[in-house]
Structure 1
Amino acid sequence: MHPAQLALARLHHQGDDVRPIPRTTKFEQLNENIEALTVKLAPEEMAEHDSIALADVVKGDRHPDTVTTYKDSDTPPLS
């Protein structure tokens, strides 16, 4: 199982009101995304993944300081 498949499976198991929107440009990755629907996670596995995802070690900025993001933009306020 690939990390992306695990991430999609986690989202799929969170309930009927959660819909992941995976993006890909390659058929191989599209097939992997579809295969994620067949992954079955036990409640214990979901709890373990949630404990990791909610830990402080996972939180933080997505991009390193060397990458320009929206935070660095000089956008005028909406008025």
Structure 2
Amino acid sequence: MKYLIPVSFLFLLVLSCEKLAEEDTPLCNDCYNVTYRLSDDTPIDTTNEKTLCGGDIINWKTIPEETTDSTVTRYLCD
């Protein structure tokens, strides 16, 4: 009886992995943030590069721009 819960959990884990394998691969994009010079909109720095999938892409693209006196940071995906 003490093995019933761990075995049940393992069984559910295997079933969920099989279900994920059957589904189509989610859309993934390379995302990053770019810092631009405000005076001429020239890129200064690209940081925080990562590959995001599905809803994470939407969340990344909706991050508001961060503006300082001389720069603006935009969150972009390819």
Could you say which TM-score interval applies, normalised by the shorter chain?
A: under 0.3
Q: Which has the larger radius of gyration?
A: 2
Structure with bigger helix share is 1
Structure with bigger strand share is 2
Q: TM-score, normalised by structure 1?
A: 0.26
Whose RCO is larger (CA < 8 A, sep 6+)?
2
Q: TM-score, normalised by structure 2?
A: 0.26
